[in-house]
Structure 1
Amino acid sequence: MNTSDSIVIIPTYNEKENMEKIVRAVFSLDNCFHILVIDDGSPDGTAQIVKRLMADEFGDRLFLIERSGKLGLGTAYITGFKWALEHNYDYIFEMDADFSHDPADLPRLYSACHDEGYDVAIGSRYVSGVNVVNWPIGRVLMSYFASKYVRMVTGFKVHDTTAGFKCYRRRVLATIPLDEIRFKGYGFQIEMKFTAYKIGFKIKEVPVIFVNRREGVSKMSGGIFGEAFFGVMRLRWDGWFRHYPALPKA
């Protein structure tokens, strides 16, 4: 039995080209991580690949939740967070399936929380310059200035506010009222970080290199960025008037 204090949550939709590779890459690390895949009814057979790997090799550390249809990135992660809390994991990660997030960086995020005592570790593209490979320049600029915009409007001092590569300590997700998180796309990533910040959790940005997906099709859309852009104003309003949970004792 491969026991672990850490679970890596990977939301998927049509990731058959990457699924087995990303699972094997995570399980090849020296650190023992478990994986929870949240599949939103992929018609390309992504879930079937996960089931095969579970049955043949990784039944004690690879898990799958299947959902019917595309229900949104944010709701996928919240489903995963609740599952991870119910199954008593202490360190809970977000990671994409397409290798834009390098599995080799997982131990660095883990170390920031486990060894250095941070509550949230963010795999940051912008804390030490602009570390993005193979993105069109327009998308780089949109992402970079979106984070600048969030910092300007909210006063939130994180460089990569839309990053989706993160490690949470259990107490963060147990404290944040997950059912009150409103946004589903990039706005979800911003809202989760901002809420953790307002509660008073310690956040560290760990520099990583983000590489555009090598296989499969991007799920990015203008609507995702639009949600983030307009949602930031609401977060600023919440920051003034919303009652956030108290910071739990360490």
Structure 2
Amino acid sequence: MKLSVVIPAYNEEESLPPTLRALYQTLAKHGIPHEICVTNDNSKDGTLRVLNEMAANEIPTLVPFTNLGPNGFGYAVRYGLERFSGDCVAVFMADMSDDPEDLVKFYNKMLETDVDAVFGSRWGKGGKVIDYPPLKMYINRVANFIVKLLMGIKYNDTTNAFKLYKRETIEGIKPFLAPHFNLTVELPLKTIVRGYSFAVVPNSWTNRKYGESKLKIKEMGSRYFFILMYCLIEKYFSRGDFHKKPVTPVAQTVSR
């Protein structure tokens, strides 16, 4: 099963080299067939130059894209989700906040259980966070509690972008609406609401070493709420119109 990794990148020339090296080395070490799709989201620094140099000289599985616009985290991820070639696809952060070894765990879990998606959880047993800003942590836990309460789910880390989906799952939860960080909520909630199976695997999160976070909390509140309300309406009022369709067995003809 070929794994695609979609990484959105805006002004990440410092973060990308260590992130891509660690990711490639880890996936190669475990013998996982893969491609690393990085969407340069119209960066103003040397991000595109770094990607082209690493693709040409260092990482043969690196596939750089450039999203000229419209721009934003969600648009950059969606750009990659429309172009990956693998059988499954993970969303991974450019700042190395996600651990490549956790991605291997996600991938193996999908192989072992054949679930439609694997979600990471930083807050349950086995999960951990390193240098997580206190205010951001408080807002994160409140937001995830609200999502759990309104949606009636047990999963406690919906806002965690780090997740793995089968290609069929990605196709089944389209069209995407969120243009910004609220895409991280749209993808898993649609997966759950539309009846796709998923497993939860603990993962770690480490604060970035270079650059600054692109998430602007004040700007995102209403956008997260919009996506949450959209998924809530679909869950209770769509009457299953978008639900995962059962697979019809293909009849086999026996030649005599």
Pairwise same-fold verdict (TM > 0.5): yes
- C-alpha deviation, 1:127, in angstroms: 2.8
- C-alpha deviation, 1:224, in angstroms: 2.1
Q: Aligned pair in 2 of structure 1 residues 146, 186: CA closer, same or farther (>3 Å)?
A: farther
In structure 2, the residue matched to 1:136 is 133
1:229 to 217, 225, 230: 225
1:65 aligned to 2:65?
yes
In structure 1, the residue matched to 2:116 is 119
| Structure-2 separation of matches of 1:112 and 1:187 | 26
**TM-score (normalizing by structure 1):** 0.89
1:185 aligned to 2:186?
no
- C-alpha deviation, 1:37, in angstroms: 0.4
- C-alpha deviation, 1:204, in angstroms: 1.4
In structure 1, the residue matched to 2:37 is 36
- What are the superposed Cα offsets for residues 166-220 of structure 1, whole Å, 9 maximum, x if unpaired? 111121012222xx32122332111111111122111111111211111111101
- What are the superposed Cα offsets for residues 154-177 of structure 1, whole Å, 9 maximum, x if unpaired? 113311011111111121012222
Name the amino acid aligned to 2:92. M
Unaligned runs of at least 5 residues, structure 1: none
Higher-Rg member (1/2): 2
| Structure-2 separation of matches of 1:104 and 1:246 | 30
Q: CA RMSD in A?
A: 1.9
Q: Secondary structure at the match of 1:181?
A: coil
Total equivalences in the alignment: 241
Q: Aligned pair in 2 of structure 1 residues 173, 230: CA closer, same or farther (>3 Å)?
A: closer
In structure 2, the residue matched to 1:203 is 198
Map 1:16-27 onto structure 2 (within 5 A).
16-27=13-24
- C-alpha deviation, 1:229, in angstroms: 2.9
Q: Secondary structure at the match of 2:58?
A: helix
1:244 aligned to 2:242?
yes
| Structure-2 separation of matches of 1:245 and 1:39 | 33
Q: Which moved more, 1:66-75 or 1:138-147?
A: 66-75
- C-alpha deviation, 1:230, in angstroms: 4.1
- C-alpha deviation, 1:129, in angstroms: 7.9
Equivalent residues of 1:120, 1:167 under 8 A apart: yes
Q: Aligned pair in 2 of structure 1 residues 132, 26: CA closer, same or farther (>3 Å)?
A: same
Equivalent residues of 2:185, 2:227 under 8 A apart: no
Name the amino acid aligned to 1:43. K
1:162 aligned to 2:159?
yes
- C-alpha deviation, 1:235, in angstroms: 2.1
Q: Which moved more, 1:143-152 or 1:230-239?
A: 230-239
Equivalent residues of 1:175, 1:248 under 8 A apart: no
| Structure-2 separation of matches of 1:58 and 1:82 | 22
Q: Aligned pair in 2 of structure 1 residues 79, 73: CA closer, same or farther (>3 Å)?
A: same
In structure 2, the residue matched to 1:55 is 56
Name the amino acid aligned to 1:205. V
Q: Which moved more, 1:70-79 or 1:155-164?
A: 70-79
Name the amino acid aligned to 2:103. L
1:218 aligned to 2:219?
no
Name the amino acid aligned to 1:149. I
2:144 to 144, 147, 154: 147
Name the amino acid aligned to 2:75. T
Name the amino acid aligned to 1:51. N
Name the amino acid aligned to 2:247. K
1:8 aligned to 2:1?
no
Name the amino acid aligned to 1:139. K
Q: Secondary structure at the match of 1:83?
A: coil
**TM-score (normalizing by structure 2):** 0.87
- What are the superposed Cα offsets for residues 62-111 of structure 1, whole Å, 9 maximum, x if unpaired? 10110125612222222211211xx3x11211000111111121100101
